[in-house]
Amino acid sequence: MNRHRLYMAVFSMGIQHSMEYRFHFFLGLLGAAFPILVQYFIWTAVYQHSGQTALFSYSYGQIILYTILAGLVSKLIATQFEHQIADDIKNGGLNKYLIKPMSYFGYRLVSFFGQKAIYYGITALLLIAIIWLASARDVLDVQAVRLILFAFTLWGALLLNFLIAYCICASAFYLQEISYFFVITSLLVNILSGGMFPLEIFGESVVKALQYTPFPYTIYFPVNVLSGKTEAAAMYQGLLIQCGWILVFFWLSRLTWRVSMKKYSAVGG
């Protein structure tokens, strides 16, 4: 089997894995709606009691739209493979990749994209419905260029979040108990990415500081490209910065794993 067919087989396995437990799959999709509903009621109460039409530069309609879009994007780019990688490191699961014509990085990346393929299809349908409803209520001004750039930034966000998580997974070579570390870092990354609420809540100085980190380019930036909060010039600039961070973390992920593999004992497997 040549390398191309090998990776296609891994991609297909990723799709099958995502649909292996169908009830769990659809329960996960349904679970994404609960944080959105909680934030909907919170923001509704905040705007009603504030007596203002706009908070943190967002109108009520814009903040609800951001909450929905951020919730969907956050669910879409979620990795959830950290514990599997940690288990491979602790129990020798990496052994087979040392002698086979496929890198562990390539296997995880292609499998990750395969698992997200179904999510992308369902999310696309949900986004079409959300865009239609938001435009009908004059909350969103639909522009073809923004839709196209949103699609590009969404793929970039998926890849960038994978690379960030893959770098974090290298810590499993050094830490004995890694579960809580993954939970904490995942929550922290989600907050700094704007997955829970717009970054403007932290204040202008914090927003400017976060622009020098990769986190806003996984959720905050793609969502604001679609919603229209990001200006035209800033969209193209942000896309270039996102691509730059992808290159940086691609190099960093290879470096951290190359260094960390020196501590791998290859026990088990």
Nearest to 229 by CA among 140, 154, 145, 152: 140
Nearest CA-CA partner of 74 in 190, 215, 192? 190
What pLDDT score was predicted for residue 267?
A: 59
The pLDDT score that the predictor gives to residue 164 is: 94
- Contacts of residue 112, Cβ cutoff 8 Å, sequence gap at least 6: 14, 79, 81, 162
Strand partners, 59: 54
Phi-psi label, residue 221: left if phi above 0, alpha if psi -120 to 50, beta otherwise: alpha
Q: How many CB atoms lie within 10 A of CB 36?
A: 17
Which residues make Cβ contacts (< 8 Å) with residue 149, sequence separation at least 6?
225, 235, 236, 239
Whole-model pTM?
Answer: 0.90
Burial of 8 (0-12, 13-18, 19+ CB in 10 A): middle
Per-residue pLDDT of the chain (269 residues; tens, 9 = 90+): 567 777 788 778 777 776 665 566 667 667 778 888 889 999 999 999 988 888 888 999 999 999 999 998 998 898 888 888 888 888 877 887 777 767 888 888 888 888 888 878 888 888 888 888 888 888 888 888 999 999 999 999 999 999 999 999 988 888 877 878 888 898 899 999 999 889 999 988 999 999 999 999 999 999 999 998 888 889 999 999 999 999 999 999 999 988 888 877 765 55
> What is residue 53's DSSP assignment?
S
Provide φ and ψ at 195, rounded to 5°. Answer: -75, -25
Report the relative pairing of strands 54-55 and 58-59 from DSSP bridges. Answer: antiparallel
Torsion of CA 5, 10, 14, 16, to 10 degrees: 70
Asked whether the beta carbons of 198 and 56 are under 8 A apart, the reply is yes
- Cα separation values, 32 from 71, 151, 196, Å: 7, 20, 12
Residue 77 CA from chain centroid, whole number = 3
Question: What proportion of the chain, given as a percentage, has pLDDT over 90?
Answer: 36
Q: H/E element holding 59?
A: strand 58-59
- Residue type at 113? F
Report the pLDDT value the prediction gives residue 266, as an integer from 0 to 100.
63
Per-residue confidence (pLDDT) for residue 218, from 0 to 100: 96
Q: How far apart are CA 65 and CA 71, in angstroms?
A: 10
Nearest-angstrom CA–CA distance, 88 and 218: 27
Q: How far apart are the first and last CA of the chain?
A: 24
pLDDT of residue 22: 59
